[in-house]
Amino acid sequence: AQTVTQSQPEMSVQEAETVTLSCTYDTSESDYYLFWYKQPPSRQMILVIRQEAYKQQNATENRFSVNFQKAAKSFSLKISDSQLGDAAMYFCAYGGAQKLVFGQGTRLTINP
Amino acid sequence: DGGITQSPKYLFRKEGQNVTLSCEQNLNHDAMYWYRQDPGQGLRLIYYSQIVNDFQKGDIAEGYSVSREKKESFPLTVTSAQKNPTAFYLCASSMGALNQETQYFGPGTRLLVL
């Protein structure tokens, strides 16, 4: 079974600085997708970014980018120019042949 | 506006009572999902449906039931058999049934036991 591990339960960053959240996964599949979701205090899950495993190019969405290392099964999220509104729980998720598998989450705090 | 709605926002259950959580989507998505989130944990799949009148158990289906009579609606019933129902419940939908499709989430329902 696939597993997703987020080794950082909590992270903090100064406003306007850059932070990287880690995610590793375990799978024997070759075709899959990876996701980062944000859960702000409202608790609604919001898609931040998505990566197709067959694409070598790292996905980017404005201030959010990923470092996808397929061989290492690593999928980290980089947030540039951190803003107060980025404070949230961030979940990494793996989507393969079966169900979507979520990590335990990383709580990100932004210090003004 | 297209999206997913869940109601109620808060729900209180008495001992031995069945309660139903509503989930509606107007995104014309085929697949719908129910997840449970406990404090400090990720999401766990309860049930999912890939098409109308069909649904499958997820990882923690015991004590829950669902129906999918309409494409837009996927209600979840928390039965009295679920001994620890206090949690945050999230409904999601996706265009297709493949787990490579992006899932979009509703605002959630918090269930508390009196």
Model confidence pLDDT, tens digit, residues B18-28: 999 999 999 99
Q: Residue B8: is the preceding peptide bond cis (ω within 30°)?
A: yes
B2 touches chain A (CB under 8 A): no
Model confidence pLDDT, tens digit, residues A18-72: 999 999 999 999 889 999 999 999 899 999 999 999 988 999 999 999 999 999 9
Contacts of A45 in chain B (CB under 8 A): 43, 90, 92, 105
Q: How far is A27 from chain B (nearest CA, A)?
A: 14
DSSP state string for chain B: ---EEEE-SEEEE-TT--EEEEEEE-S--SEEEEEEE-TT--EEEEEEEEETTEEEE-TT-TTEEE--SBTTB--EEE-TT-S---EEEEEEEESSSSTTSPPEE---EEEEE-
Residue of B nearest to A91 (CA): B42
Model confidence pLDDT, tens digit, residues A64-81: 999 999 999 999 999 999
Rounded CA separation A46/A53 (Å):
21
Contact A45 B92 (CB under 8 A): yes
Nearest to B88 among A37, A43, A46 (CB): A43
Contact B42 A95 (CB under 8 A): no
Contacts of B90 in chain A (CB under 8 A): 45
Model confidence pLDDT, tens digit, residues B76-109: 999 988 888 999 999 999 998 767 788 999 999 9
**Contact of B82 with B34, CB cutoff 8 Å:** no
Contact A104 B99 (CB under 8 A): no
Q: Is the confidence at residue B16, as pLDDT, over 90?
A: no
Contact A44 B107 (CB under 8 A): yes
